[in-house]
Amino acid sequence: MHRDEPPTDPLSDGPAPRTRVVDAGRRFDDRIATANLPAWRASTVLFDSLAHAEAAGQATGRGERHATTYATAGTPGTLALADALAEVEAPGHACRAALMPSGLSAISTALLAFLSPGDHLLVSDSVYGPTRAFCDGMLSRYGVRTEYYDPTIGAGIAQLIRPETRIVYLESPGSYTFEIQDVPAICVEARARGVLTMIDNAWASPVFSRPFDWGVDASILPLTKYWGGHSDLLMGAVVIREEHWPRLWTAVRQLGVCVGGDDAWLVLRGLRTAEVRMRAHEQSALRVARWLAGRPEVASVLHPALESHPQHALWKRDFGGSSGLFSFELRAEAFGADAAGAQRALAALCEGRRHFGIGYSWGGFESLIMPAKIGSLRTARPWQGGPLVRLHVGLEEPADLIADLEAGFEAMRRVRDEAPQD
Ligand SMILES: *Cc1c(COP(=O)(O)O)cnc(C)c1O
């Protein structure tokens, strides 16, 4: 063997090993059909030619359907999910959907996309707390003025609309307090004045509501909740009328908000069972709510499907059902006299429950309990009632949940009775 001959590599039949490990297994037989799409994990998207890359770039810039140059603009899996969401949220309407990494980022992206310095924004006083923090924080720093309106305002919204009003931002029912808004009436007034309407549709989801039939221009879906459905992912989406899509898409591209392929796959899987899960949440939550309404410790149950709810008629007119989330208000007599006593009583009710976890978020298979601190979250219509506790009723047997809450009330009563009297 000559010394200058390259050493023979027993593995070097064809491409070098390091080339082979890069190349192997990337050609699959796309004629094999499965019920589900695969999960696309991707950053780079490949093109057949430079001309293809150029055309894809232009189509992606215009926000055309199924156009992508890079996974921040979409992969087959995320594009399939976006199509599915537009279809289920807005049947009969020409809409598009964009995916964001959380419900909150869907809210912030939708607002940033359409607002400019000097604009006026009308937001429901019953809005999700972090939405308020975004409006009062970053939006205010960028020169947008937010005004909160009474969620029961209905057509009265017209009086609050000014020449510089750009968006009315709704949420119905409201977070924690569950006011139902007259969304169609608000949309009519806003549209007549060239103002966009956006709604946070977390609670009802498309299973129980048709926000585009009500007249909204965009709806926000926290997919973290019932669409994911298993408390194991974070995602959000904005569904928007076609005419407003280019502006939203430009913001999505400039901000770089996007989602991972595995999470998109999980949301698409959650969607398949969303309707049956929500019917089960609905039935169980109603049983628990009706039981709570008969408890001596409870002043009121804030659940729009109960006849006692102040906007029950609106709920009946507009919604196809109710979900697993509602609040109840405790009677002052159920507590010790002072704030510390109240805190102890609340802790006794919530802590140590067998089936209700203490935690934020909701929409998964499991039940949750959380006192609501809404004092600072209401400015247009301050909360006048007693302490609120929010429940998410999961897929457990409702009788087990009721027994668990009964034990909580018993613990609360013991703590109150043992409290030092002065
Ligand atoms: C949870 C929630 C969101 C935010 O969703 P995340 O994915 O948790 O960011 C938005 N709006 C409402 C009404 C919610 O309950």
Q: For residue 22, report the distance from its CA to the centre of ligand 1, in Å.
A: 40
Q: For residue 104, report the distance from its CA to the centre of ligand 1, in Å.
A: 6
For the stretch 216-267, pLDDT in tens is 999 999 999 999 999 999 999 999 999 999 999 999 999 999 999 999 999 9
Question: Which of 177, 179, 181, 224 best tests ligand 1's pocket when mutated (most atoms within 8 Å of CB)?
Answer: 224
Return the higher-pLDDT residue of 373 and 60.
60
Indicate which atom in ligand 1 lies nearest the CA of residue 224. 7
C-beta 234 within 6 A of ligand 1: yes
Taking alpha carbons only, the member of 252, 254, 255 closest to residue 237 is 252
Atom 15 of ligand 1, nearest CA residue: 202
For the stretch 317-372, pLDDT in tens is 999 999 999 999 999 877 766 778 888 889 999 999 999 999 999 999 999 999 99
Residue 382: pLDDT over 90: no
**How far is residue 208's CA from residue 175's CA, in Å, rounded to a whole number?**
17
pLDDT at residue 1, rounded to an integer: 44
C-beta 223 within 6 A of ligand 1: no
pLDDT at residue 301, rounded to an integer: 98
Indicate which atom in ligand 1 lies nearest the CA of residue 325. 15
**How far is residue 222's CA from residue 108's CA, in Å, rounded to a whole number?**
12
| Helix/strand number for the chain, H first, E second | 14, 12
**Which residues are bridge partners to 97 per DSSP?**
239
**pTM for the model:** 0.93
**How far is residue 410's CA from residue 404's CA, in Å, rounded to a whole number?**
10
Q: For residue 127, report the distance from its CA to the centre of ligand 1, in Å.
A: 10
Atom 5 of ligand 1, nearest CA residue: 103
Residue 71 CB neighbour total at 10 angstroms: 19
Indicate which atom in ligand 1 lies nearest the CA of residue 234. 7
Question: Which of 99, 104, 220, 234 best tests ligand 1's pocket when mutated (most atoms within 8 Å of CB)?
Answer: 104
Structure tokens at 41: 């994990």
pLDDT at residue 375, rounded to an integer: 78
Domains of the chain: 50-272 (3.40.640.10), 275-418 (3.90.1150.10)
For the stretch 105-145, pLDDT in tens is 999 999 999 999 999 999 999 999 999 999 999 999 999 99
Residue 373: pLDDT over 80: yes
